[in-house]
Amino acid sequence: MACQRQLLLLSTSTIHGSEYLDYAKAEIDSFFKRNNVSKILFIPFALRNHDEYASKAKFALKAWGYDVDSIHEAKNHLEAVNKAQAFFIGGGNTFQLLKSLYDNSLVGAIRKRVLHETRETRINQYHEIPGMPPVIGLREGSILHVDGTKLKLLGNKSARLFMPGERPKEYESGADLSFLINENCSD
């Protein structure tokens, strides 16, 4: 199945001397039109005053011809996420944003709708860069212990080793992974 994810990430909503989203209007408009979006779900959880923040986003996006709903006004947040054509997640206090998303059990639903990728996908993309070292994917409960030239996997879970150009390999607790640190080590 081909990956169909579409993301547009902005570093800010306002540049000094311009109005809200003006600097990115062409990119935002092109992005939504290219993806046949006419209705946007705004997520204002990064600021405390959700009504004010949503009003600001609605004003800008509606002026461009988009219908905008704010998730904080929805009777059922999860249903709003599942039915959304597109998300606009407002910035601000990232900790507050994440807390609200977790408190409302929305992180998984948004991730499912937006990302459609795994950590393995990210690691494989990292390994597309020539010369990148192996990556050990530790599960909760895994421990790596280095003692001189020895590297041992401990704990009660296995770990996954990702090597450039190879399929991931599973290692059980107790495995000797010293070969990973001794490749360039001289005595």
CA-to-CA distance for 143 and 42, rounded, in angstroms?
Answer: 41
Q: How confident is the model at residue 112 (pLDDT cuts 50, 70, 90)?
A: confident
What residue ranges do the domains of the chain occupy? 22-114, 133-182
Q: Over pLDDT 90: what percentage of the chain?
A: 55
Mean pLDDT value across the chain: 88
Cα angle: 182, vertex 118, 109; to 5 degrees? 145
What is the pLDDT, as a whole number, of residue 170? Answer: 94
Kindly list the distances between the CA atom of residue 40 and the CA atoms of 44, 75, 89, 137, in Å, as whole numbers in the listed order.
12, 16, 10, 36
pLDDT digits (tens, 9 = 90+) for 46-62: 999 999 999 999 999 99
Find all residues with CB under 8 Å of 22, minimum gap 6, and list them.
14, 15
Mean local confidence (pLDDT), 142-152: 85
CATH 3.30.1330.120 assigned to 22-114? no
Asked if residues 138 and 113 have their Cβ atoms less than 8 Å apart, the reply is no
- pLDDT at 106 exceeding the cut of 90: yes
| C-beta of residue 46 within 8 angstroms of C-beta of residue 97 | yes
CA angle (28, 22, 64) in 5-degree steps: 60
Query: Residue 56: which of 86, 14, 98 has the closest Cα?
Result: 14
Measuring CA to CA, how many Å separate 112 from each of 31, 40, 101, 115? 20, 17, 14, 6
Sign of CA dihedral 92, 119, 31, 41: negative
Q: Is residue 139 very low, low, confident or very high in pLDDT (cuts 50, 70, 90)?
A: confident
User: What pTM was computed for the model?
Assistant: 0.61
CA separation for the pair 67, 64 (Å, rounded)? 9
Between 148 and 109, name the one with better pLDDT.
109
Q: Is the pLDDT of residue 15 over 60?
A: yes
